[in-house]
Amino acid sequence: MASAARQPEDIPEERVQSLNDEPARRDGDYVLYWMQASVRSRFNHALEYALWRANDADQRLLVVFGLTDDYPEANLRHFTFLLEGLSDVQKNLKRRGIKLVVRRGSPEKVAVEAAKGASLVVTDRGYLRHQRKWRKTVAEEAGCEVVQVESDVVVPVEVASDKREYAARTIRPKIKKHLDDFLAALDPIEPQKSSANMSEEGLDLSDTEAVLSRMKNLDREVAAVSKLYRGGESEARRVLSDFLDARFSSYSENRNQPQTDAVSHMSKYLHYGHISPLEVALAVRDSGAADQNIDDYLEELIVRRELPMNFVYYEPDYDKFSCLPDWAEKTLSKHRDDAREYSYTRWQLEDAETHDEYWNAAMRELRYTGYMHNYMRMYWGKKILEWSDTPEYAHQTALYLNNKYFLDGRDPNSYANVAWIFGVHDQAWKERPVFGKTRYMAAGGLERKAKPEEYVKKVDRMVENLTAR
């Protein structure tokens, strides 16, 4: 079933990659889009590519998502946000005449089973170890053509660079070189045949609590945060619109001021694929805001976000202490036995029981909201290094707390951000006890650059409101 029509121009060829050499199945009944990373109905190159292939074959498009309650390090907080997004995208796809079926099971097994009736499989892309393994398995076992389509970075990783980049300054010119080719709108394709009434069965997503209650292996220790942040592409666009209308005008001035709220809150929605970085970038670019605000935001959204994608793609040990550059590993090893003025256990840190009221406020914000202002996130991480008995234990602790509580934990940005604490994507600085030549952050610097006392009060009010009965 070779495709005769020309691939849509707004789906660049560099986003599309064949994962096997199998032909499309001649007796297939539908085209399957195995949705796993890009959980949205708009600005989704994998979805639109699958629709194009379905129309070209005069077939329906079926979308399937595999829901596994033992996803690495995920808990009730993460699954609630995910399911809110799946429920939203299911409704939005139905309006387009496309059926989304969510099934319990390991994602790759769900995809292989659904592929039995498909002419070909289209999937989106993930960069983490287990995500790549899933796609490899599907490519080997589907028995038909499997195509991967990148839709969660602006510039595809291999296009930007063919190696692990040292820092933002080295990848920035490489990404900017290709921006004009990839920073373009994606028009939705109208399905020629509706799949909305297909008999394929899946979970009833109308009651998120009911779905969660049946996930027997789900870690329920960390509560959901739906009162503050609700998942889904509709909510993501509302939050983005609110940011652009009400807070973007002060972005450059206040983005490093944790006592304010001059941030977009897009990271959690980008993490779950509920919004495309391309859609966010175009909305920001065309917002009519001051150039400085636009440039600063696009730097964070594209360069600073896609550097971690490069990191986990080209670094096999992205979640291990061994991922550090040689200079960082050597300097931290040299100072591993330095005396610590303060030393805390992982459990004391988790309970926000330190002498530092700024750090405690940051940890409390994280525990109760699933979010922490990025400037405090850096300070938070640096203090974990300073207060841990060894740098290796500090790395393990930072990852543990990050992945357990952050809504956007357990992704490339998380692994790169934690590694940054220990020298990745940074340079050598003045040598100090404990830190060696890695970057040092102190409460005094926080007080000079921001207003942490006001931040503490903001967190106190937030936590009080969330815990009030």
Domain ranges within the chain, ordered by starting residue: 1-190+205-314, 321-461
- Rounded Cα distance between 69 and 73, Å, is 10
- Rounded Cα distance between 248 and 286, Å, is 12
Reading the block at residue 270, the tokens are 């980008």
- Classify strands 99-104 and 118-123 as parallel, antiparallel or unpaired: unpaired
Total residues found in the chain within this entry: 469
Long-range contacts: 452-460, Cβ < 8 Å, 24+? 452/258, 452/259, 452/358, 452/361, 454/259, 455/258, 455/259, 455/358, 455/361, 455/373, 455/376, 456/357, 456/358, 456/361, 457/259, 458/258, 458/259, 459/361, 459/362, 459/364, 459/365, 460/361
Q: At residue 449, does pLDDT exceed 80?
A: yes
Q: At residue 305, does pLDDT exceed 50?
A: yes
pLDDT reported for residue 2: 47
321-461 to CATH, choices 1.10.579.10, 3.40.50.300, 2.60.40.10, 3.30.70.150: 1.10.579.10
pLDDT reported for residue 1: 46
For residues 276-296, average pLDDT: 98
Q: Are 31 and 193 in contact (CB under 8 A)?
A: no
Share of the chain above pLDDT 70, in %: 99
Reading the block at residue 267, the tokens are 């990271």
For residues 106-111, average pLDDT: 98
Rg of the chain on CA atoms, in Å: 23
pLDDT reported for residue 280: 98
Q: At residue 3, does pLDDT exceed 90?
A: no
pLDDT tens, position by position, 420-431: 999 999 999 999
Q: Look over the chain and give the mean of its residue pLDDT values, rounded to a whole number.
A: 97
Q: How far is CA 190 from CA 54, 65, 195, 427, in A?
A: 11, 21, 12, 50
For residues 332-353, average pLDDT: 98
pLDDT tens, position by position, 30-73: 999 999 999 999 999 999 999 999 999 999 999 999 999 889 99
pLDDT tens, position by position, 126-148: 999 999 999 999 999 999 999 99
**Of 104, 102, 106, nearest in space to 90 by CA:** 102
Report residue 102: phi and psi, to 5°.
-105, 125
Q: Are 66 and 103 in contact (CB under 8 A)?
A: yes
CATH fold of the domain at 1-190+205-314: Rossmann fold (3.40.50)
pLDDT tens, position by position, 166-179: 999 999 999 999 99
Q: At residue 282, does pLDDT exceed 60?
A: yes
Q: At residue 4, does pLDDT exceed 80?
A: no
Share of the chain above pLDDT 90, in %: 97
Q: How many CB atoms lie under 10 A from the CB of residue 37?
A: 21
